[in-house]
């Protein structure tokens, strides 16, 4: 391998074939260290190539975007098509069951349409978050606790042994610069 001394560090001279292996492995694995090992170059060399060769830097970015696409495809496959899992009974394989991932499906929906499926944390008043001072915040918390207590009393069972539950759809809290906004 040809090397040149740059800033006291030894860096491999840019090699198109090694760069191609690095980019291909980076796209496949998403892991720079593994890509460098596959290409036979150090992390410092890869970083130097990235800063000194625009086309290599663009290929690097494209490889990482491709990796994200591959991961998204796999998430959707697991969420929609499911994954076959073996079922054993008394140590013997008796069949398979297909598991689906509700969490991955919810994540895919939030990514596809955040306005419709995203988290409800942006409470605004006239376009700006509602700011409460300490007194107003404390009063609102007391009010919410009273509502929770009344709801708990309406539930069947012994209220003393039951956890009090607050309906999170009725209350949203936003933290903005260490100040809570409650509506």
Residue 56 lies in a domain: yes
**Total of domains in the chain:** 3
Residue 100 lies in a domain: yes
Any idea how long the chain is? 183
Q: What is the pLDDT of residue 109?
A: 87
Are both 86 and 108 inside the same structural domain?
A: yes
64 and 90, same domain (yes or no) = no
Range of the domain at 93: 79-116
Instruction: Give yes or no: residues 153 and 171 share one domain.
Output: yes
The pTM assigned to this predicted structure is 0.51
Residue 128 lies in a domain: no
b/e 136-154 (16+ beta carbons within 10 angstroms → b): ebeebeeebeeebeeebee
Verify that 93 and 149 share a domain, yes or no.
no
In the block, tokens 């030894």 appear at 10
- Is 127 contained in some domain? no
Helix/strand/coil for 85: strand
Residues of the chain short of pLDDT 70, as ranges, are 1-11, 119-131, 155-183
Both 70 and 86 in one domain: the answer is no
């Amino acid at each position: 391998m040809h090397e040149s001394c740059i800033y006291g560090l030894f860096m491999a001279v840019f090699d198109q074939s090694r760069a191609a292996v690095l980019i291909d492995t980076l796209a496949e694995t998403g892991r720079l260290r593994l890509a460098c090992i596959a290409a036979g170059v150090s992390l410092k060399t890869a970083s130097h190539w990235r800063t000194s060769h625009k086309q290599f830097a663009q290929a690097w970015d494209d490889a990482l975007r491709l990796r994200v696409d591959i991961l998204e495809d796999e998430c959707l496959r697991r969420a929609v098509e499911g994954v076959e899992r073996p079922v054993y009974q008394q140590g013997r394989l008796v069949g398979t069951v297909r598991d689906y991932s509700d969490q991955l499906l919810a994540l895919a929906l939030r990514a596809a349409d955040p306005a419709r499926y995203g988290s409800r944390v942006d409470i605004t008043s006239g376009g700006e978050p509602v700011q409460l001072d300490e007194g107003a915040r404390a009063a609102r918390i007391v009010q919410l606790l009273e509502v929770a207590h009344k709801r708990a009393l309406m539930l069947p069972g012994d209220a003393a042994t039951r956890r009090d539950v607050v309906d999170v759809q009725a209350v949203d809290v936003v933290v903005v610069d260490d100040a809570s906004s409650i509506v």
